[in-house]
Amino acid sequence: GENVEQHPSTLSVQEGDSAVIKCTYSDSASNYFPWYKQELGKRPQLIIDIRSNVGEKKDQRIAVTLNKTAKHFSLHITETQPEDSAVYFCAASFTGGGNKLTFGTGTQLKVEL
Amino acid sequence: SAVISQKPSRDICQRGTSLTIQCQVDSQVTMMFWYRQQPGQSLTLIATANQGSEATYESGFVIDKFPISRPNLTFSTLTVSNMSPEDSSIYLCSVLAGAYTGELFFGEGSRLTVL
């Protein structure tokens, strides 16, 4: 089955700096790569996703890049703000094979004032 | 986006008892997924629940411990049986945003504490 590794486990940045979280996946059949943000005590919520036919996607301060050859993808947050503080999970799935999302281990991002 | 309601939102349970978690969706969905999130950990898929068939369990999870019902296209239940403190977790129900999107919507979760 799919295995997703995520680094770092914790990340502390100053407000206004950029944050980068990296993930690798094992199953070359995976074609969908979402990122979820989970605030304390809340449900995970999708913030951005990318499919295997795209190398990069951007939404305001958030961007995701995908390298299919190396089987890794990254989340980039620019101009970080205190409200970006949360746990971020990457995930991978094959949308033609049951849509089962396999999650990474999570990154606790803290944006300090 | 789907609206997913889970009950109970939290509960404190005694060792050896069982608890059933309910998940109600505001639209008809083919697949529902049950995840477990242990304290400070990631999300692990327990099983996929399809209406009209038995749930498909992931490695490490068995039907005797986590029986699932899926009586219709908007509702599912997950029972955590014969609980031990190791079952203390958040249990999350989720559904696909669309048949081919891959995006999951999650319920608010049910936080179980087993004493």
Q: B102 and A101 in contact by Cβ < 8 A?
A: yes
User: What pLDDT is attached to residue B99?
Assistant: 65
Mutation test of the interface with chain A: which of B5, B30, B103, choosing the one with the most A Cβ atoms within 10 A? B103
Question: What does each of the 113 residues of chain A score in pLDDT, given as a tens digit?
Answer: 889 999 999 999 999 999 999 999 999 999 999 999 999 999 999 999 999 988 999 999 999 999 999 999 999 999 999 999 999 999 999 887 677 899 999 999 999 99
Residues of B in Cβ contact (< 8 Å) with A101: 33, 43, 45, 102, 104
Q: Does residue B32 surpass a pLDDT of 90?
A: yes
| Out of B104, B108, B109, closest to residue A101 by CB | B104
Of the listed ranges A21-35, A62-76, B8-22, B96-110, the least confidently predicted one is B96-110
Which of B70, B81, B56, B89 has its CA nearest to residue B25? B70
Which of B25, B3, B11, B2 has its CA nearest to residue B79? B11
User: What pLDDT is attached to residue A97?
Assistant: 67
Q: B44 and A93 in contact by Cβ < 8 A?
A: no
Size of interface A-B (CB pairs under 8 A): 49
Residues of A in Cβ contact (< 8 Å) with B41: 105-106
User: What pLDDT is attached to residue A48?
Assistant: 96
Distance between CA atoms of residues B47 and B93, nearest Å: 10
Residues of A in Cβ contact (< 8 Å) with B92: 43-44
Q: A100 and B108 in contact by Cβ < 8 A?
A: no
Q: A100 and B45 in contact by Cβ < 8 A?
A: yes
Per-residue pLDDT tens over the stretch B35-46: 999 999 999 999
User: What pLDDT is attached to residue A100?
Assistant: 87
Do the beta carbons of residue A89 and residue A104 sit within 8 Å? yes
Give the start-end residues of each E strand in chain A. Answer: 4-7, 10-14, 19-25, 32-38, 45-51, 56-59, 62-67, 72-77, 86-92, 102-103, 107-112
Residues of B in Cβ contact (< 8 Å) with A102: 45
Q: What is the DSSP letter of A93?
A: B
| Out of B58, B103, B109, closest to residue A34 by CB | B103
Q: B101 and A95 in contact by Cβ < 8 A?
A: yes
Q: A101 and B45 in contact by Cβ < 8 A?
A: yes
Give mean pLDDT, residues B7-32.
Answer: 95
Of the listed ranges A17-21, A38-42, B101-105, B109-113, the least confidently predicted one is B101-105
Q: A43 and B106 in contact by Cβ < 8 A?
A: yes
| pLDDT above 90 coverage of chain B, percent | 83
Per-residue pLDDT tens over the stretch B39-72: 999 999 999 998 888 899 999 999 999 999 999 9
